[in-house]
Amino acid sequence: MTDANRASRISEAARREPTAVELEELGACLDADSRAARGHAAEALGRLALAGRDVEPYADRLGGLLADTELLDAGVRLSVDPDAEGWFQPRVVAFAAAALVLTGSVERADTIESAVRAYERSHPEFDAETRTVTAVREVGWALASVVIYTDGYVDVLVSLTERDDDLVRRVAASALSDVAEEYPPIRDAFPDETPRLVAVAAESLASDPHPRVRYHAAFALYEYALGRPELVRGRRDVLVAALEDESELVRKDAAGTLGLVGATDAVPALRELAESDPADRVRGSAADALESLGEPE
């Protein structure tokens, strides 16, 4: 049996019967020469962590996976419901990292930073900030995919939005916005934790010092307002204050959200934004919000 076949069998067992997997065999597959074997083993590592297996003795292999440039683009399919067509696909190494982070099998901040740096290196064609933005989204999506897949780990995700490290909060906020955007289409329902996640996003929008964190928080509120406007309506004061944010992306999504929640009290601020904001997309978002509120320019 080839290493790839052996690792594929382990990955399938990790999905169907995780208690039956021999961890020593997993370790050998994580170190295999075959790229396919390492990919299957990375998937198994993540699934076993989520199943409650003690994978900490193998967590040190994550560094090698993150340095494995051949493997970073490989995807993994996570079935939400075996009888449903809905599915989503994070990168397999990012998925393994997210599973280890959320289950506490690794030091969370260091692992998130290592994962972001790995995915930054995989995009040498971009400028530095674009590389970081792309990598943050990749790792954030992996975290969100695990939260959606397991319908759990919200406490951990929330705790990551409260870290001192800007990069960790950026990843966590990106994951938060992905949960807001993707959970209803994938699960066909909002999670029970939605009111709490709305509150977390509003707090991040109101107080986080990093503009990209505030942007992801504003986008999360916009996505929740699309489906559950009643849960966001009480955050109008935060959204109105965000109309003056230094980030045009924040201003844009705050304006759009105010339109979705029927915030007629925000009409004067939205009208000023539509008339004088320096960014075209912000003026357009404010104009659209005014129209949805029955107050066209």
At 63-116, the pLDDT tens digits run 999 999 989 999 898 876 655 555 668 999 999 999 999 999 999 999 999 999
Query: Contact, 184 vs 165, CB < 8 A?
Result: no
Q: How many CA atoms lie within 13 A of 224 on its CB side?
A: 30
213 and 123 part of one domain: no
228 and 292 part of one domain: yes
277 and 242 part of one domain: yes
CA distance 136 to 141: 8
Domain that holds residue 232: 193-297
Q: How confident is the model at residue 3 (pLDDT cuts 50, 70, 90)?
A: confident
Find the helix or strand (DSSP H, E) in which 165 lies: none
170 and 212 part of one domain: no
90 token code pair: 């994070």
Query: Contact, 143 vs 102, CB < 8 A?
Result: yes
- In the predicted structure, residue 117 carries a pLDDT above the cut 90: yes
Q: CA 184: distance to chain centroid?
A: 14
Residue of 266, 247, 263 lying closest to 204 (CA atoms): 247
Q: What is the pTM of this model?
A: 0.94
For residue 294, what pLDDT is reported? 87
Domain total in the chain: 3
Q: CA 296: distance to chain centroid?
A: 35
188, part of any domain: no
125 and 172 part of one domain: yes
